[in-house]
Structure 1
Amino acid sequence: MSDPILQVARRVGVVVARVLLYLVLWAGLALLFAAVGIRFQWGEISVNQMLLNLVSVETDGGGGSLVWIGILLVGVLPLLITGGVALGQHARRGNRRENLRRDDDARPRRSSWVGRTVSTVLVAAVVVGGTTAFGSAVGMRDYIKAANSEYDLGEYHVDPTITSDEQKRNLVLIYLESGEATLADDQLFEKDAFASLKDATKAADGWRSIDDLQQYRGGGWTMAGLASTQCGFPLKGGGPAASSGSPNELGNDADSYLGGATCLGDVLEEHGYTSVFLGGANASFAAKETFLRSHGYSAVKDLAHWRAAGEPVTSFRSDWGLSDQRLLARAREEIDALHAGAEATGEPFNLSILTLDTHEPVHVYDYCQVDTQNELTSVFACSMTEVAGFVDYMEEKGYLEDTAVVIMGDHLKHMNASDDFHEQLDDHPNRTIFNRIWVPGTTGDAGDGALRPGVDQLNLYPTVLEAAGLTLKDRQAGLGVSVFTPTVPDGSAQAMEPGPYGDLLDSRSADFYVEAWATEDTAP
């Protein structure tokens, strides 16, 4: 009785071992192909970017074909290869059994042992290689290291306290997709891509800028740029302890995004502002609309809105959305209506705009005339010309007399394997973010003092609040300190030395993010 049972157990064990081997092979291939895709499309990213961004891509106006390429590369192709290997191995075993029946020689048994050893080694190599490559592509080592950090964001984060809104004014925020100031260097590039916008925002006319504005450590994608400048802390996941508003559910119609945090739109709403967002892409991408509506924005106008509004097909690019030319034309209509409403009601508005044309891969809209060898240089210049035209329009209409304007890049230009400008940017010592700030009543001759230089994006949160005319206690919000003050309060995160400050931004700060991602239903 024992022999049949032993044979059955042995056969079951062999089948289970083979299944596990194929599952491990599939996982190794999926990780390897994912790593290759990430490196090619985004360069090196972070675990947080992967969790908060890649899980909520959209096939329509949020990456387009990249979604299907990802599915084929990471889902289908590893499965097909694994299935092919399994079928090949099954055929080999069938041939070996047939040979054994014909010739009871010991050599096939030795050959079988060698074959299994080689197969196991190859599978192990794929698994180790895939895991290592994927871990490197998403910065897994840094993510694990951050879990053991001695720092906690909660010890430095400051909820904004508004002491007066008597001077509150209208606000326009313009985020420039991949708006890196380095591209203005006509010694590195074929021409200054920001020339037209710089001409429309001259220091002599009262426009100011933050010298050496830095991307915050750990940032580098659009939602990180929006959240950092409007909430004042690094965008990270809340982990499994977070509420139903956690990033793990952002792709499933979550109704809250950083619901436990007080961000720009929340403060403005509390002080009577109407906040409207305009963007050319699908606002569902990376849960952008959820973030905005969670924080005081009453209207979010995106790809679907522009289609319904009758924009012609030629105004769109299939992978992302509406051109900057048409977006800024629509922005003229929007600010006309908002400004008229503000004059009628006495309550201000916040109009936030996110450009699109400069998002890679390069796409040249019909309105843009390419006059450079590298098309992207011309695309950047065309986009900035449209933004400059909108600034000129605001000035012509007299809106700059009662409206603050903050123009800034959302992040540095991506540098992945498929992107342009590696020669100019890979080894550049100081890549910075383009920015311009207009506060009514400021003139070039009067000069209210230089803005504090060398800060990162987290300092834009209190800066924008002050630009809007709100008086801010201690001039702090989030981890930032307004750039309108040259001094930094003792005990602020901005008073830390660069090394510890970087460690603070890297820290996992689990309790802080659990609270930040909480909703009303889950808040303590």
Structure 2
Amino acid sequence: MRNLSVFVKAFFRILFTILAVLLAVLATVITCSLRWMFDTWSNLTMDELIYHLTSPLDGTNDAMIREYIDTCIVPAVIVLLFLLVLFAAFRKKKRYYIVMAGAIVLSVSVGALSVRGAWQDLDVGNYVADRGTYSTFIDDNYVSPSDVELTFPQEKRNLIYIFLESMETTYADTQSGGAFDRNVIPELTQIAQENEDFSGETADLNGGYSMPGTTWTIGAMFAQTSGLPLSVSIDGNSMDTQTSFFAGAVTLGDILESQGYSQTLLIGSDAAFGGRELYFTEHGNYEMMDYKYAVQNGLIPEDYHVWWGYEDEKLFEFARQKVTELAAQPEPFNLTMLTVDTHFEDGYVCERCPQLYGDDQYSNVMRCSSRQVSAFVQWLQQQDFYENTTIILCGDHPTMDSDYCEDIDSGYTRKTYTAYINAAAQKETETRRDFTTFDQFPTTLAALGVQIEGNRLGLGTNLFSSEPTLTERFGRETEERELKKNSQLIEKLADIDYDSESLKVREGRVPTGTVYADPYLRDIGGIPVTVTDLANLPDEVQSVQIAVWTNEDQSDLQWIQLGAREDGSFGANINVANYGFKLGVYYIDAYIVDSTGTPYMIGQATGYVD
């Protein structure tokens, strides 16, 4: 009986010790993670947090991951070791249970206080309430382009629309309406001041607010070309899993296609990411000139990959070539571009980047972007086709960089950069406009000389008109609050298929296959990869390719074309020298590319080098 009592006592001692250690480590991880999260993403909202938690790690570099480990995991390990030493020192003393109880109470208290603080800062209660509530705001204020008369000029104008990654009016100096002591985008500032940004009679820059559902790239591109938020019950960067992208919406691309425009999307990354390729091909039949296109057409070497694909220096070089080709065609054109060098964290430093701001890398990158955009605009203005061409420069969304705007005054309102150049429209009012990125949709058409019945499309208003925007009518806070809620109209227009990928496979509408990665072969310095069991193939297969990366943020992603074999399979070796003979996991996605250049993901595998 005495032995049983000793056993029970020892059991509970071990149980409470494990509980105390686990709670202490968990409280440390939670507290440090929350602190790191708020330090990394300034002005963090619940919408943005959900986006970061549910989207892939694209854009997250190794430095950020290492920072998280140093800030959160290392302290947890230190606490673990400290407790083990502490409990070992007190294990035979009467105060042992007091120490354990104190550790448990302290851990629970610290963890609870941290969660409570984050709950309040993120306003989680209202967020949950909003997501469980339907609003008629969108339903009542949305104007479908199919219900509006649009009158194009007899001679249709060309459009060059450049989405500027993370570009804000904030980066200008305070004298120009920005928030910085020193202007890091002087060229873009001058462009906005000399052209149209709807700032009225002042020289202060003006821009659009980013509303809920528009604060990441595909959400921003969708908002500016459809007048709608990408607010659906699916991660916005997972729209590429859908068979359609808001099939019920009529967008800028749809309208211009119906008017005979030749349309091109030129970007330095993979257009498939986030559903961009799906959206722009379905709505406007845009030609895709992305990173894959550049590799396949010899614009860059097959093994070339920096940042997200290739840098903006090459983007503008390719743009000059493409716009010259488009201008020689008889039909009007729409060349839509997206820059990438200014993506968080801290941007990409190319060979053109000036070192004007010391070790402030992001400012140097912003200045480089400002100079490159300005040089491209000046080149366009010297071309014969410029007279009949409208150029629009718009930031896609505010930057997600962790600390770039942390020192600006809390009362300053951050807006996306906006400039309309050579627009075929006259303003009806000199009042400084209060607007969102939704308003870019009808304003773009107006800048092309299109007469818009009622001057409203989507949730947007033609800013050249005197018609008030929704922001001017209801106020920004009211608009934001209502847009955070669900909308029956959005659900109808989106027509989300939550089992779309398996449905497409069952119906035989996408290719499938099996991907194998064999063990690393040191004698050839490579990982053999085989794609076999191919089914549901298109009539013509352009190529079979694999995307390979080792970093979680895919910053070292490279594309490899596979060769056909006699048995019907495809294969190639991953040259690990291209990854610096890095040890660990090699992630592999396989794609079939049809005759139109459309890729279909057919399988995944992982290789390993030890």
TM-score > 0.5, shorter chain as reference: yes
**Distance (Å, rounded) in 2 between the aligned partners of 1:55 and 1:317:** 25
Instruction: Tell me, yes or no, if structure 1 residue 266 matches structure 2 residue 245.
Output: no
Superposed displacement of residue 75, structure 1: 10
Instruction: Tell me, yes or no, if structure 1 residue 403 matches structure 2 residue 389.
Output: yes
Name the counterpart of 1:391: 377
Verify the 8 A CA contact 1:165 1:471 in the aligned structure 2: yes
Name the counterpart of 2:112: 128
Name the counterpart of 1:43: 42
Which one has a larger percent strand, Structure 1 or Structure 2?
A: 2
Question: Alignment partner for residue 482 of structure 1, among 447, 453, 462?
Answer: 462
Name the counterpart of 1:350: 334
After superposition, the Cα gap between the structure-2 partners of 1:177 and 1:429, relative to the gap in structure 1 and judged at 3 Å, is: same
Name the counterpart of 1:177: 165
Corresponding letter in the other structure for 1:500: T
After superposition, the Cα gap between the structure-2 partners of 1:262 and 1:76, relative to the gap in structure 1 and judged at 3 Å, is: farther
Name the counterpart of 1:433: 416
| Secondary structure of 2:149's aligned partner | strand
Corresponding letter in the other structure for 2:474: M
Name the counterpart of 2:101: 117
**Distance (Å, rounded) in 2 between the aligned partners of 1:311 and 1:122:** 58
Superposed counterparts of 1:240-279, under 5 Å: 246-247=234-235, 250=238, 253-279=241-267
Superposed displacement of residue 504, structure 1: 2.2
Name the counterpart of 2:478: 500
Deviations 1:401-421 (A, max 9, x none): 3322211122334563x32x5
Verify the 8 A CA contact 1:280 1:327 in the aligned structure 2: yes
**Distance (Å, rounded) in 1 between the aligned partners of 2:105 and 2:249:** 50
Q: Identity of aligned pairs, percent?
A: 20
After superposition, the Cα gap between the structure-2 partners of 1:23 and 1:169, relative to the gap in structure 1 and judged at 3 Å, is: farther
| Secondary structure of 2:445's aligned partner | helix
**Distance (Å, rounded) in 2 between the aligned partners of 1:190 and 1:493:** 29
Corresponding letter in the other structure for 2:35: V
State the TM-score, normalized to the length of structure 2.
0.65
Instruction: Tell me, yes or no, if structure 1 residue 216 matches structure 2 residue 210.
Output: yes
Superposed displacement of residue 15, structure 1: 9.4
Name the counterpart of 2:128: 144
**Distance (Å, rounded) in 2 between the aligned partners of 1:272 and 1:52:** 37
Name the counterpart of 2:525: none
Superposed counterparts of 1:314-329, under 5 Å: 317-318=306-307, 320-329=308-317
Verify the 8 A CA contact 1:275 1:351 in the aligned structure 2: yes
Question: Alignment partner for residue 514 of structure 1, among 483, 487, 491?
Answer: 491
Verify the 8 A CA contact 2:424 2:446 in the aligned structure 1: no
Corresponding letter in the other structure for 1:504: E
Verify the 8 A CA contact 1:58 1:282 in the aligned structure 2: no
Instruction: State how many pairs are aligned.
Output: 482
Name the counterpart of 1:154: 139
Corresponding letter in the other structure for 2:60: G
Corresponding letter in the other structure for 2:392: V
**Distance (Å, rounded) in 2 between the aligned partners of 1:75 and 1:514:** 39
| Secondary structure of 1:406's aligned partner | strand
Superposed displacement of residue 485, structure 1: 0.9
Deviations 1:188-211 (A, max 9, x none): 6565444334556774xxx32222
Name the counterpart of 2:441: 461
State the TM-score, normalized to the length of structure 1.
0.74
**Distance (Å, rounded) in 2 between the aligned partners of 1:383 and 1:181:** 14
* Between 152-161 and 454-463, the greater mean CA deviation after superposition: 152-161
**Distance (Å, rounded) in 1 between the aligned partners of 2:229 and 2:286:** 24
Question: Alignment partner for residue 369 of structure 1, among 350, 354, 360?
Answer: 354
* Between 382-391 and 248-257, the greater mean CA deviation after superposition: 248-257
Deviations 1:337-360 (A, max 9, x none): 33334x1xx3x3322112223334
**Distance (Å, rounded) in 1 between the aligned partners of 2:294 and 2:498:** 34
Superposed counterparts of 1:263-302, under 5 Å: 263-283=251-271, 286-296=274-284, 298-302=286-290
Verify the 8 A CA contact 1:480 1:494 in the aligned structure 2: no
| Secondary structure of 1:213's aligned partner | coil
After superposition, the Cα gap between the structure-2 partners of 1:391 and 1:294, relative to the gap in structure 1 and judged at 3 Å, is: same
**Distance (Å, rounded) in 1 between the aligned partners of 2:237 and 2:475:** 36
* Between 469-478 and 323-332, the greater mean CA deviation after superposition: 469-478
| Secondary structure of 1:350's aligned partner | strand
Q: Mind listing any 5+ residue stretches in structure 2 that lack a counterpart?
A: 200-205, 501-610
Verify the 8 A CA contact 1:56 1:285 in the aligned structure 2: no
Superposed displacement of residue 376, structure 1: 3.9
Question: Alignment partner for residue 229 of structure 2, among 230, 234, 240?
Answer: 234
Verify the 8 A CA contact 1:39 1:137 in the aligned structure 2: no
Structure showing greater relative contact order (alpha-carbon pairs closer than 8 Å, 6 or more residues apart): 1
| Secondary structure of 1:250's aligned partner | helix
RMSD: 4.4
**Distance (Å, rounded) in 1 between the aligned partners of 2:31 and 2:390:** 48
Name the counterpart of 2:60: 63
**Distance (Å, rounded) in 2 between the aligned partners of 1:495 and 1:522:** 39
After superposition, the Cα gap between the structure-2 partners of 1:33 and 1:486, relative to the gap in structure 1 and judged at 3 Å, is: same
Deviations 1:94-114 (A, max 9, x none): 994xx5xxxxxxxx5x53432
Verify the 8 A CA contact 1:415 1:422 in the aligned structure 2: no
| Secondary structure of 2:225's aligned partner | helix
Superposed displacement of residue 315, structure 1: 8.9
After superposition, the Cα gap between the structure-2 partners of 1:410 and 1:440, relative to the gap in structure 1 and judged at 3 Å, is: closer
